[in-house]
Structures are given as C-alpha cells and as structure tokens.
Amino acid sequence: MFTKILIANRGEIACRVIRTARKLGIATVAVYSEADKDARHVDMADEAVLIGPPPSKESYLVIPTIIDACRRTGAQAVHPGYGFLSENGEFARRLEDEGIIFIGPKAHSITAMGDKIASKRIAREAGVNTIPGYNDPIETTDQAIAIARSIGYPVMIKASAGGGGKGLRIAFNDGETDEGYRACRAEARNAFGDDRVFMEKFIEQPRHIEVQVLGDGHGNIVYLWERECSIQRRHQKVIEEAPSPFLDEATRLAMGEQAVALARAVDYQSAGTVEFVVGGNDRRFYFLEMNTRLQVEHPVTEMITGLDLVEQMIRVAAGEKLPFTQSQIRRDGWAIECRINAEDPFRGFLPSTGRLVRFLPPEDVSGSVRVDTGVYEGDEISMYYDSMIGKLITHAPERSQAITRMNDALNAFVIRGISSNIAFQSALIQHPRFVSGDFHTGLIAEEFPKGFHPSSLVHREPLLLAATAVYARRRYIHRAVRITGQLKGYERHVGDEWVVLMQGQKYALTLRLAPGGCDIVFQDQPHALRTNWELGDILLRGTWDDVPFCLQLERLGLRYRIVHWGTQVDAIVMTGRAAELLTLMPQKQPPDLSKFVLSPMPGLLAEVCVKVGQAVRAGETLAVIEAMKMQNTLKVESDRVVAEILAQPGDSLMVDQPIVRFT
C-alpha cells in the first residue's frame, strides 16, 4: 500500500480523496493555484504545493508541474479526481514513465474510451448497443449541416473529448447546427485542447442512466448497479439517484452485463462509468460514452452498496484484487444526490461568484444525510473554476423517504453571500413528475421554460410563512420595549392584531405569545406555532399544529425574508392602519436600461460580435462571455442599432457591467 499520494485536483473531490486516504493511513499532498491558497483541500492535506496562477491551463492542467510536485514531495501515486487531468491518457503515461502510479485506469483504456469516436467503434465490436450517427471528426459547418440532414433532425453535436455538458449542443435545424457546431468546437478547444466534434441522432424524451463499473489488475470486473441521471439542465446533471426508478430487473441486468463487456474490451482497471441513453417508451438502451474516472455522483452508489469507491480505486492501483464478486454486491435502499451550485436563479442560473458569508450545511441527525464539499464559511467562489460548491446526499430504505429527507435537508442548508440553486433543487424534489418517477432529460426545459424564480412558486401552506413572520416581528418588538432607559409614560404599546403583506396577499392575524412559541388565529381558526428559535438565528425549527418544520428566516429592515420548500417570500408585518397607508404610497419606478446590454454574470469577455453603427436583428449574437469553463452567448431581443461598444474582448466583466449601448 502507498504511504503518500498526491491529489491532482481541487475543491470537493480533493477533500473527498483526502478523507479516504486519511482513513487508510496514507499521507496526502495537495496542489493549489494562487486563487486556492486558502482553500479547504489545502488545509486538510498533510502537504501542499503551489503550482501556478489561477487559470487552470496555467496550473491544474500543467502536467510537468504536477509531476515535479510528486518528485519534490515523494508522492508514490496520484489520484486525479474528476475533471482537469482525470481522463488525460498522456498524463497517465507520463506518470508511468516517471514510476508514479496513476490511481485510475491504464493509459490505453483512457485513450480508447476518452475518444468518443473510437469508443463507439469499440462498443459495437464488444456487442454493446450504439446510437446511429457519424463517428468521424466533422471538419466544416457545411459538412455538419449535410450530416445532420442525412441523420435526420434532431441531432446532437458532441466534442470528442467533451464531458460535463461542455462541447455539447442539440440542433433541430440547419441554423442551430451551424451555431452549435461552432460553439462546441470553441468550448472543446478551450476546455480540453481538442476541438474535434462528431454527431449522432438525438433520442427524444430520453432517460440518462449510467452503470458504475469496477475492475482490478487480475481480470476481475463487476458492475455496482446503475444511477439515474435524467434530471439535467443544459446537459449538466442536477439530481442523481440510485437505483433508477425506471428500470425493470431484466433491463438492469442487460445494461450491467454490457457495461462489463465494454470494460473488459479495454482491460479496464479502476472505477469507471458506462453511460447509456434509454428510450422512455420501450426501455431500449444505447451506449453514450464511458467516463474513465470517478463520477461526481459516485456517493449515491456508495450509499446503496456500502462501498468506498475511492478506497477501491486506491487498492486496485496498489495491485490488490477486488475483495468481492458480482453476486456479493448489495443494493440497499435508495439514495439521492443534489448538486449545490453557485448559480443565480434570478439570472437564468448564470454563475455567481463572491465570498461565502454564511455556509451552514444541514446536520446529519439521522445518519442518512451526507454533505461532500470543498468550501467553508468565509471561502471565496472564484470565476476560474466549476460552479459546484458541494453535494447533498440522502439515503433511506424507500425512495419516498429519501425524497422527504432531501427536502428537509435542503430546507436547512444555508448559503449567503452568493446565489445558489438550493431553492431550485427543492422545487425539483417536490415536483410531481420527479416524485412519481415519470420524467426524462427534458423535464426542466418543459416545466420551467421561462427559468426559475423562487418567489414565483406558490407555497402550499402560506399561513405558516405569514405566522412565522408575525412571530419574528413580535419577538423583535418584545425585545425592544424591554430595553431600559425609555422615556417614562411613552412606552410602546404592543397589540395582538397584525397584518402580513406577502406575495400580493394580505393576512390579518391575531397573535398571542405562549410558552415555547405563540398561538395564531386566522379567519377564526386557531393554530399553534411552537419553536425554540432565538433572535438572529437563520434557521427556525419548530412545529405548526404539531407538524415539524424547518425554514430560513432573516430580518431585512422592515421585511422578513422566508425560504421554505423552494419558495422565497418577503413578508412585511405591520398594524392594520399602517398596511392601509402603505397601499396609498406611490411605487418607485426602476431606471430604464433597455438601451444597454449588461453582463449577466462576472466573467471574461471573449468576443464582441457587432460594430458601432451596425443594425442587428432579434436573435443575432452580440457577445460571448466565458465563466466557470462555459461559453455564454448574449443575443439581441429586438431589432436595434449599435451606438457604442462599452467593453472590449479580454476585459474582466462584473455583473451588470454595460457591454453595448443601442441608439
């Protein structure tokens, strides 16, 4: 067994590997860029080595620098995590040449499966079902359009070296093929240094289901059941679960056997994933790709099998045999994972950067809630790296119980200082289609066609939110009137009658403080709110008519912001007379920004596609912004004429920074 390993990665996965290495008694070496000098994985490791400036192409992707760090620290092996160099065959070969063990598959396996064109040929030869398409590199847009027409729309354009939703577009016509082909090549070139793309038929209403495989150096290969990964946005996974609620046992067995056959065809050694697209009507499945690395969603497999996949990777790399056979792999209960990303739901889920002013993951009070993260309170989310800041995983004997535990955990997950997708995850977890298991990869696009805003959701128990707002207001006033030194004879009178203005509705409530909470009367109906909440706490836990709940509550001046079940409301609590006067006050109008194109996110301005004086039509591209390894295209919403270019390619943009002004 190794005595010291280096983790060639950052963030959550680096911390995850360090925890397992520590359990095995293995010393760890972290590598970090200048932007990550205070990062959590640096603090957790036994040693840390600076490897370069913030951009990943100058630090985490520089192979000679990583190898030099191994030499300097005496690391015997390298775990690549996922992303960065994890599927780089050249990196694995260079390590082998240096006598350093790569904790992952052999270089020839990475090369064979990392090239999506070659992998499909190998899959066909191994007897694995494959999707119709064109598997050679496409050289021009004209060729791409011709191929798309021959396959038949819709088609999927994919980068050969792509992954994580990068270098991937769906096209339904010639124009989308032209634009998607160019975008895929640009993203793949920037993210992977390989701009080759290919094309295949897009299966409509598909399920995305993947099979976890594990092989050793002694010819043993097993599959560890499947993961359902169909809840996606822009081709990036949002929620994963194991097992799949869609598969029957016959399909599950067939997929597992084909995954093992493919792994055996490339002499696979380590953990890997074979991804399939499954037809929603007939359960026919087709090979998509093989990820020759650990997956982000591996914890759900660990929860139902009881195995530590990182530990198995380390042991296999050290030459050990798998300690179990296929028949000994258990499938216990149900696990669900939500990816917690630094995204702004108010701006179409564009990346959100900044400092984590508050970061309070939910507590594991039941032994079935797990949080994998690479950040801590006070940390900074950088524009240079991926937007994922953590993963929330729940486990239970039944799927419905795992959903309930996830819902409770999301209610208790506090992030402040940056925007996150927690509210959106909560809305998805409660969505009837998710709860029923009747969904496919287009669920988010179909159910949230105009994006998501937590204040737009209708809470199924608005009275609970109104009651907690009144209770908080009453507690704050109760503290204020008890402060000493007030002018005698002018003490503030506090009544029991209150009005809550919330989401355009008015709630007239009567509140009386009671031991451990308060009693509420609304429309002559009594209710009981009981809680041990202290002033200033963000989390308010308690019971509402004897039913437990947990929500987030903050005082923002005269407003009380409440977050619960994915809904965010701002409640104003006042007397009845004050509520009447408020409705008579004129509302302030926002400034007119219609003549400007503003940056919707912090990032690098990669391209300005218009000139001063140019007439542009609705739908035309104005600019391209790069942030968190993704290209984001800004388009004009109506016919306009460009009056002024306010930013230049190469500029680092702030949120709402003007880029273009129209006449």
Q: Omega before 243 cis (within 30°)?
A: yes
**Cα 256 from Cα 276, distance rounded (Å):** 11
Q: What is the pLDDT of residue 371?
A: 97
Nearest one of 63, 26, 33, 61 to 48, comparing CA atoms: 33
What crossing angle do the helices spanning 309-317 and 298-305 adopt, rounded to 10°? 90
Helix (H, G, I), strand (E, B) or coil at 159: strand
> What is the average pLDDT across 401-417?
96
**Residues whose CB is less than 8 angstroms from the CB of residue 250 and which lie 6 or more positions away in sequence, other chains included:** none
Considering only 19-33, 157-171, 347-361, which range has the smallest mean pLDDT?
A: 157-171
Amino acid in the structure at residue 451 = G
E strand or H helix that includes residue 428: helix 422-430
What's CA 397's distance to the chain center, in Å?
25
Q: What is the pLDDT of residue 377?
A: 95
**Cα 335 from Cα 187, distance rounded (Å):** 33
CB 612 within 8 A of CB 508: no
> What is the average pLDDT across 472-483?
83
The DSSP-derived string for 191-256 is: HHS---EEEEEPPSSEEEEEEEEEE-TTS-EEEEEEEEEEEEETTEEEEEEES-SS--HHHHHHHH
Tokens linked to 26: 């293995």
Q: Give the tens place of pLDDT for each residue, 322-341.
A: 999 999 999 999 999 999 99
What crossing angle do the helices spanning 107-114 and 89-97 adopt, rounded to 10°? 170
**Cα 438 from Cα 246, distance rounded (Å):** 8
**Cα 151 from Cα 516, distance rounded (Å):** 67
**Cα 223 from Cα 210, distance rounded (Å):** 11
Q: What is the pLDDT of residue 487?
A: 64
Q: Is the pLDDT of residue 455 over 80?
A: no
CB 427 within 8 A of CB 407: no
Q: What is the pLDDT of residue 527?
A: 97
E strand or H helix that includes residue 429: helix 422-430
Residues pairing with 31 in the sheet: 49
CB 622 within 8 A of CB 660: yes
Per-residue three-class SS string for 627-645: ECCEEEEEECCCCEEEEEE
Using CA atoms of 198, 202, 208, 214 in order, give the dihedral in degrees to the nearest 10.
-30
Tokens linked to 630: 């993704």
Tokens linked to 319: 């030459």
Q: Give the tens place of pLDDT for each residue, 484-505.
A: 666 666 656 677 899 999 988 9
Q: What is the pLDDT of residue 19?
A: 98
Q: What is the pLDDT of residue 629?
A: 61
Amino acid in the structure at residue 97 = D
Residues pairing with 223 in the sheet: 213
Neighbours of 503 (CB within 10 A): 16
**Cα 475 from Cα 492, distance rounded (Å):** 14
Considering only 66-75, 300-309, 482-491, which range has the smallest mean pLDDT?
A: 482-491
Amino acid in the structure at residue 208 = H
Q: Is the pLDDT of residue 574 over 70?
A: yes
**Cα 590 from Cα 285, distance rounded (Å):** 52
Q: What is the pLDDT of residue 70?
A: 98
Amino acid in the structure at residue 542 = G
**Cα 424 from Cα 238, distance rounded (Å):** 10
Tokens linked to 507: 């709630």
Check residues 635 and 1 and name the one with the higher pLDDT.
1
- Tokens 């706490």, residue? 537
Tokens linked to 662: 């129209």
Residue 319 per-residue DSSP state: T
Q: What is the pLDDT of residue 310?
A: 98
Residues pairing with 101 in the sheet: 77
Q: Is the pLDDT of residue 454 over 80?
A: no
> What is the average pLDDT across 360-368?
89
% of the chain with per-residue pLDDT over 70: 96
Give the model's confidence band at 483: pLDDT under 50 very low, under 70 low, under 90 confident, else very high: low
Tokens linked to 318: 């050290």
**Residue 254 burial (10 A CB sphere; 0-12, 13-18, 19+):** middle
Q: Is 47 a catalytic residue?
A: no
Check residues 54 and 647 and name the one with the higher pLDDT.
54
CB 168 within 8 A of CB 162: yes
Q: What is the pLDDT of residue 603?
A: 78
**Residues whose CB is less than 8 angstroms from the CB of residue 649 and which lie 6 or more positions away in sequence, other chains included:** 605, 606, 607, 608
**Cα 358 from Cα 365, distance rounded (Å):** 21
**Cα 624 from Cα 632, distance rounded (Å):** 6
Q: What is the pLDDT of residue 203?
A: 83
14, HSE (Cβ side, Cα atoms, 13 Å): 28
Give the model's confidence band at 109: pLDDT under 50 very low, under 70 low, under 90 confident, else very high: very high
CB 14 within 8 A of CB 30: yes
CB 422 within 8 A of CB 371: no
Q: What is the pLDDT of residue 282?
A: 82
**Cα 416 from Cα 486, distance rounded (Å):** 35
Classify strands 221-233 and 206-215 as parallel, antiparallel or unpaired: antiparallel
Q: pTM score, two decimals?
A: 0.82
Nearest one of 449, 232, 439, 416 to 338, comparing CA atoms: 232
Q: Is the pLDDT of residue 271 over 70?
A: yes
46, HSE (Cβ side, Cα atoms, 13 Å): 17
Q: What is the pLDDT of residue 5?
A: 98
616, HSE (Cβ side, Cα atoms, 13 Å): 27
Q: What is the pLDDT of residue 253?
A: 97
Nearest one of 128, 190, 143, 184 to 160, comparing CA atoms: 184
Classify strands 652-653 and 603-608 as parallel, antiparallel or unpaired: antiparallel
% of the chain with per-residue pLDDT over 90: 68
Q: Give the tens place of pLDDT for each residue, 621-634.
A: 888 888 766 677 88
> What is the average pLDDT across 129-154?
91
Catalytic residue from among 187, 228, 240, 289: 289
Q: Is the pLDDT of residue 599 over 90?
A: no
Classify strands 621-627 and 630-635 as parallel, antiparallel or unpaired: antiparallel
Q: Is the pLDDT of residue 590 over 70?
A: no
Q: Give the tens place of pLDDT for each residue, 367-377.
A: 899 999 999 99
Average pLDDT of every residue of the chain: 91
Q: What is the pLDDT of residue 628?
A: 64
